[in-house]
Amino acid sequence: MILLVTNARDLTTDFVVLELRRRGLPWFRLNTERLPTSCVRLGWEADEDWSIAFEAAGVRGADVTAAYFRRPGAPEIDPAIADPAERTYCEAEWAAWLKSLYLRLEPLWLNSPNAIGLAEDKPRQLRAAQRLGFQIPDGLVTNDPKRLAAFVESGASIAKPLREALLDGAEEAVMFTSRLDRAAVRDASSIRAAPVILQREIAKAADLRVTVVGDRVFAAAIDSQDQPEAIVDWRRGASRDLPHRAISLPPDVVGKCTDLVAELGLTYGAIDLVEDLSGDYWFLECNPNGQWAWIETRTGLPIASAIVDHLASRVA
């Protein structure tokens, strides 16, 4: 049985479910946010087998042959538990149980949660990519206003988050990659507040999303330069109609992509590259658990099939 660990709103997992159903393979979808309110029985036996039962279905650890860690949701505690301390206690206990479960599934993951966490280190990604022969933009990580000002003065520059891409609050905001100018270096207190990645801006012909599943590579070009607001960060484009194209990468770039994913301890990776105006490729970053369903929808690249191929290869 293939275990899918995610949340009920994760549309990407829906693509995997459709492919599993098409092939007639056994699977179980665990929407972790629903555990506290929908799980009717939870077991952990002395022999370290485990089980989860819901009203309609359940899963036993002994039956799981492969697992896909997608987007698990934080367990949502029953609203009837009103005391804040009790709610915090229950949240911590569910988190502890899930952590133990994830560790016991370690050999079965497409990408293990531990490997994902380690691979999210962007400076580590850049060092690995450079060792493998990728071109990477010159840059640094800093919260020093003087170093930031000197970097901006010396050439076209962009800034992007070191880790967090979302700003939570009353209105959630996305932290886009942004072009820096001299005006951006004047607020020293804001610069000191948190480290930021600074890089030289690469003049683009296109943005590339390269999805790696084992030794299979699916490359798509996003024509971000078609819209002024998407030139620096294609996600900022007001239109959802930015052209996407399935493309073939040179063999050496394909090899670097698969080598990088393996170097980061992963089986799956979503790599962002830039193709510059001369046709050269530059590495930006690798998302170890990045979205891919929109790429399949826009280009027809069979990413869900490749993921299920990998998971199914372990099914007895």
Per-residue model confidence as pLDDT tens digits over 183-200: 777 777 778 888 989 999
User: Do 253 and 162 reside in the same domain of the chain?
Assistant: no
User: Do 154 and 269 reside in the same domain of the chain?
Assistant: no
Number of domains in the chain: 3
User: Do 126 and 256 reside in the same domain of the chain?
Assistant: yes
User: Do 235 and 272 reside in the same domain of the chain?
Assistant: yes
User: Do 180 and 285 reside in the same domain of the chain?
Assistant: no
Number of Cβ within 10 Å of residue 48's Cβ equals 10
Rounded to the nearest integer, the mean pLDDT of the chain is: 91
Across the range 27-53, mean pLDDT stands at: 86
Of 58 and 182, the structure prediction assigns the larger pLDDT to 58
Across the range 240-265, mean pLDDT stands at: 94
The structure's pTM equals 0.92
User: Do 239 and 194 reside in the same domain of the chain?
Assistant: no
Domain enclosing residue 153, as ranges: 139-200
Round to whole Å and give the CA distance between 188 and 203: 28
User: Do 220 and 248 reside in the same domain of the chain?
Assistant: yes
Q: Lowest-confidence range among 77-81, 96-100, 171-175, 248-252?
A: 171-175
Round to whole Å and give the CA distance between 216 and 212: 6
- Is residue 33 over pLDDT 70? yes
User: Do 130 and 219 reside in the same domain of the chain?
Assistant: yes
Three-class secondary structure of residue 218 per DSSP: strand
Reported confidence tier of residue 88, pLDDT bands at 50, 70, 90: very high
The two tokens of residue 252 are 């050496």
Find the angle CA(151)-CA(155)-CA(161) to the nearest 5 degrees. 55
Round to whole Å and give the CA distance between 46 and 100: 14
Q: Lowest-confidence range among 96-100, 160-164, 269-273, 297-301?
A: 160-164
